[in-house]
Amino acid sequence: MNKMRLFIKKINKMLLTLSIALLFLFTQSSIGQTSVAYKNAEEAMQAAQKNKQYLILLFYDKKAETLNAMETTVNEFLKTISEKPLFYQVQTTDDKEKETIRKYGISRVPLPLLLVFAPNGAITGGFPEQVKTQELKKCFSVNELDMKIMKPLQEKKIVLVLLQNKKTKFNQESDKVATDFQNDSRLKGYVEIVRADPDNSKNKKVIV
């Protein structure tokens, strides 16, 4: 009888250990969806685009109440959405973040600063010093066509939007005009062509 009790205790102990291990793995996996250890912000951006995820970058120079408030707002917002974005904090005094700081002109903006990136790399929102949950929500409801237009515009390019489908006329002619303009030696590399179906209900707001 004593041997049986000892055996049951051992089994219970093993089950408890296994449960703790599984809980730890599950927690790590859940956290990994939003806050993963990357070498720098550039690597986080590449990962987000590769995985077709939104990305939240939070830039700061030192710990402060404003930073804590923004962190709280982000964490509260993340609880309300099913598709988790990547969330990465960028310390502006860190040498490994120099390229990102230069690229987005962060040194000229009040800190902390929160930037939201769409899956294609377009910035859908920027908030210096404070942000509200409702503001974050709008950043994650951007139309796909808007994203395609915003990205090259933010790269200081000219965007030609061609509204075409099988029912529209002069598709070949408009394609040729747009392509010729894009290939003009004076504008090489500065023109982006975006095609959109005018009958797609998701594009209606952008077209109107």
Question: Whole-number mean pLDDT of the chain?
Answer: 84
Would residue 24 count as lying in a domain? no
Last residue of a domain, one of 139, 171, 187: 139
Whether residue 42 is found in the same domain as residue 73 = yes
Would residue 105 count as lying in a domain? yes
Whether residue 151 is found in the same domain as residue 95 = no
CATH of the domain at 128: 3.40.30.10
CB neighbour list of residue 201: distance below 8 Å, 6 or more residues apart: none
Classify residue 99 by burial, with Cβ atoms within 10 Å: 0-12, 13-18, 19+.
exposed
Identify the pLDDT of residue 83.
Answer: 85
The whole domain housing 63 covers 34-139
Domain tally, the chain: 2
Whether residue 66 is found in the same domain as residue 107 = yes
Asked if residue 162 lies in contact with residue 193, where contact means CB atoms within 8 angstroms, the answer is: yes
Q: Who has greater pLDDT, 52 or 30?
A: 52
- Give tens-digit pLDDT for 123-163: 999 999 999 999 999 999 889 999 999 999 999 999 999 99
Classify residue 147 by burial, with Cβ atoms within 10 Å: 0-12, 13-18, 19+.
middle
Would residue 21 count as lying in a domain? no
Q: Is the pLDDT of residue 5 over 70?
A: no
Would residue 20 count as lying in a domain? no
Whether residue 135 is found in the same domain as residue 38 = yes
Whether residue 121 is found in the same domain as residue 160 = no
Whether residue 135 is found in the same domain as residue 154 = no
Long-range contacts: 162-171, Cβ < 8 Å, 24+? 162/193, 162/194, 162/195, 162/196, 163/196, 163/197, 163/198, 163/207, 164/195, 164/196, 164/197, 164/198, 165/197, 165/198, 165/199, 167/199, 168/198
Question: Which tokens in the block code for residue 162?
Answer: 């061609």
Would residue 9 count as lying in a domain? no
Whether residue 83 is found in the same domain as residue 128 = yes
Would residue 134 count as lying in a domain? yes
Residue 166 CA, chain-centre distance (Å), reads: 33
- Give tens-digit pLDDT for 78-121: 999 988 899 999 999 999 999 999 999 999 999 999 999 999 99
Whether residue 163 is found in the same domain as residue 120 = no
Whether residue 59 is found in the same domain as residue 123 = yes
